[in-house]
Structure 1
């Protein structure tokens, strides 16, 4: 049997939390996130593994005035510094997109909307404006218009809102995905859980690739970004905590193969921008490449998925 697998990484930096004005997840000037992207791209080149990078459109700007057209919630742009990449690299990061575009492996740069808009809080016109602005900045940057989108915090609007804007693929969470509320049970679940397989499906002309609600290419048992891990988790030896993620990724690959299904693993760039997350990810992707080379699994960017659905 042959399974299929998609990897996606959200690049949002400061825009990911600008509505909260909270930036403790990020390194100073995004230095660690930049270094981590280089390591990830090197790993992908080594194993010929393509990733879909969902990038907030504003990050493609070298600079801006801080003033933006469109109908937005009051105060939405308060955190926009109105400067440039040299002064505020958490809000302007065109160099990250250039590195992705110039690497040996042919990755996809999809969109994560223009300003990390939260679709449940705005009108359909604002959602359309966000996607249209993303298309514009992609073209200005020399990129193809995005064919895939991941909506911030998985707040996915009706497909009628954007189906005519060139978007063909949406990543959205698995419905009724079970996560225990009790902390003790949640801990046991986190250790023993396996990644579900799904089927690619087309709804209202849009291909859906389903994922877990929380990041699956990184682990909550490991440091997230620059924040301190909970002391109870930190008391567990690092090698054991890393083994949990390594085995989870490998198990996800195996389940895709054994169940002839689709698996979508994802994370944020800032999630893995530390020394704890990358080692098990490297091991897991090496295993994925081996199974791909053995003919057991295929790896697809989000923009490639419509072809799989249309060929069924």
Structure 2
């Protein structure tokens, strides 16, 4: 099997940072997210690149009344109340036109209309699987709600990206029981483990974005095997850091780091999995789209030379499963 190029986007709007920032603190990025998604979709069409949008379930609704219909009876019982998004629902706007930061049904429908792309889940409420107090029963209720609200738009959920990359091994069986066949795992290096949030780990993750400290983070297609819970790990290779004025002198290094790893994956028939949040592009949108354009041009070159192929998380999962069955 040829090398594979997977892109997953954590589509969350304000729900992804509600416990860290208020809308007013991040408004430029949030306002420009819709334009960013439109530009990403246009560029992806031009280069025939497939995308997986891991979408927070709240965003599937167009109104507060509709959102409340899908709220599960069992909610996460976080010990730290700040993590609970349900506490702010009464304070958000009534609909998408009034409040484009907490509803996004129009965008979801736009993405779904392009069959090249996939809509996966980022859980219903941006659920934190490592937070104290919550449990597997509450996580299951959340996934059921995510599936149900997606189904109301005729969208089937088959893949998951865990919020804040908080993968819990025992929860993968819950995912599988809800028809989810793949998830985005973390890079196989200690600094990328979610619990390792110290300053040293953060500094090393940042440095690794510009120079090769921990390797290419590419993965053998042959070794992508299903877990006992029947949920395939499609691990992350690289977070596409947005343009930074403070770090602009290192932009060339960041781009070269990504391209070199993509080339390694293409030559060795391996997986390269790039990810980011659409709202990351909201500030300095043109510069971020220019970076993505350069990545796509390189992908096209690798596709022509080595047969490097763009896949969604689910399309890759289906190919891996078929190949595994054939080898039995």
Instruction: State the TM bucket, normalised to the shorter chain.
Output: 0.7 to 0.9
Aligned position for 1:252: 261
Q: Which of 77, 101, 120 does residue 90 from structure 1 map onto?
A: 101
Matches of 1:107 and 1:26, distance apart in 2: 27
- Cα drift, residue 17 of structure 1: 1.5
Count of residue pairs the alignment pairs up:
294
**How big is the alpha-carbon RMSD for the aligned residues of Structure 1 and Structure 2?**
2.6
Q: Structure 2-normalised TM-score?
A: 0.81
Q: Decide whether the 8 Å contact of 2:209 with 2:257 is kept in 1.
A: no
The alignment partner of 1:181 has SS state of: helix
Aligned position for 1:125: 137
- Cα drift, residue 182 of structure 1: 8.1
1:210 aligned to 2:235? yes
Alignment of 1:1-312 (within 5 A): 2-23=2-23, 26-28=26-28, 30-65=30-65, 68=71, 69-73=73-77, 75=81, 76=84, 77-80=86-89, 81=92, 83-103=94-114, 106-121=116-131, 122-143=134-155, 145-157=156-168, 158=170, 159-178=172-191, 181=200, 189-193=208-212, 195-199=216-220, 200-204=224-228, 205-212=230-237, 216-219=239-242, 222-223=243-244, 234=246, 238=248, 240-275=249-284, 276-310=287-321, 311-312=323-324
The structure-2 alpha-carbon separation of the partners of 1:296 and 1:137, relative to structure 1 and needing over 3 Å to count, comes to same
- Deviation digits for residues 89-120 of structure 1 (CA, Å, limit 9, x no counterpart): 111011111221234x6100000000101012
The alignment partner of 2:64 has SS state of: coil
The structure-2 alpha-carbon separation of the partners of 1:82 and 1:125, relative to structure 1 and needing over 3 Å to count, comes to farther
The structure-2 alpha-carbon separation of the partners of 1:25 and 1:289, relative to structure 1 and needing over 3 Å to count, comes to farther
Range that drifts further, 39-48 or 290-299 = 290-299
Matches of 1:186 and 1:114, distance apart in 2: 28
The structure-2 alpha-carbon separation of the partners of 1:183 and 1:170, relative to structure 1 and needing over 3 Å to count, comes to closer
- Deviation digits for residues 98-153 of structure 1 (CA, Å, limit 9, x no counterpart): 221234x610000000010101231111111111111111110121x210001101
- Cα drift, residue 70 of structure 1: 2.1
